[in-house]
Amino acid sequence: MIQLTPTDLSIATLLIVALAITTSLLQLNIAKSILISASRTIIQLTLVGYVLKFIFTEASLLLIGCMSLVMLAIAGYESSSRQHRKFHGYWGFTLGSLSMFVSSFSLTFFTLITIINTDPWYAPQYSIPLLGMMLGNTLNGISLSLDRLTQNTWQQKDVIENRLMMGHTWQDAIKNIQVDSMKSGMTPIINSMSVAGIVSLPGMMTGQILAGANPLDAVKYQILIMLLITAGTGFGTITAVWFGSKRLFDERQRLRLDRLR
């Protein structure tokens, strides 16, 4: 692989500066956020490069475990902070983390020990990037579906309560919304599966090809990843919507919107 020098990256940085100047001339008012987020990308990725280099040489299970938990906690926090109507207290964070733990962690573990067969099973070159991709994608599905769940429940409060007033169970009363929320969480990943390779070359595959891998090997990994993140997103979304909607009702099957902010 051709090594990139700091000069190479500076040239790319100049493009961003040019973009920032252009947008400010056009009075788009986003030059500042372009520059800040570009700096964040550079700093965060550089740091993570060092962290990964360290973890790869150490290859200790404890260290990898800590790193994965930090990744999970950040993803859990992100999933709750993206909601328009959040659950009160730690519930949103717990719900997001739990759903991602159930789907991403278990599927990554399963893949490492049965499909890729790494030795040791937690080999960081495989486990960390795999987990990262799983978390990033399930995060999207889970936050989309929870957002839809809480927003729709809020809007359709009267319908749900009218059904309860007639003696419907809470499951019947929120069924439509559950179905809708689960679908909305899974739709993006289903769409990207159907255009993969035609409209877009997935990032991981692109990276492997750039690094000199045989395109056919890269494709095999990409297929594996696509299928895994779809399964992860799907199961994560189902878990999140199920527990989330259960939380919207109490033990007397009353709709409890006071549990949302």
Say whether residue 176 binds other proteins (CB under 8 A). yes
Q: Which is nearer to other proteins, 33 or 169 (CB)?
A: 169
Task: State which of residues 131, 163, 189, 226 lies at the interface with other proteins (CB under 8 A).
Answer: 163
Stretch that binds other proteins, among 25-33, 137-145, 158-166, 207-215 (CB under 8 A): 158-166
Beta bridge partners of 255: 249
Span interacting with other proteins, options 32-40, 140-148, 167-175, 196-204, rule CB under 8 A? 167-175
Q: Assess 192 for contact with other proteins (CB under 8 A).
A: no
Whole-number Å distance between alpha carbons of 51 and 58: 11
* Helices marked H in 2-60: 6-25, 31-58
**Residue closer to other proteins (CB basis): 142 or 260:** 260
Residue from the set 4, 29, 50, 167 that interacts with other proteins by CB under 8 A: 167
Specify the residue for token string 């919107």.
Answer: 257
Buried/exposed code over 102-141 (b: 16+ C-beta within 10 A; e: otherwise): bbbbebbeebbeeeeebeeebebebbbebbbbbbebbbbb
Q: Which is nearer to other proteins, 32 or 254 (CB)?
A: 254
**How far is it, in rounded angstroms, from Cα 121 to Cα 143?**
30
User: Which residues of this protein are in contact with other proteins, per CB under 8 A?
Assistant: 158-159, 161-170, 176, 250-255
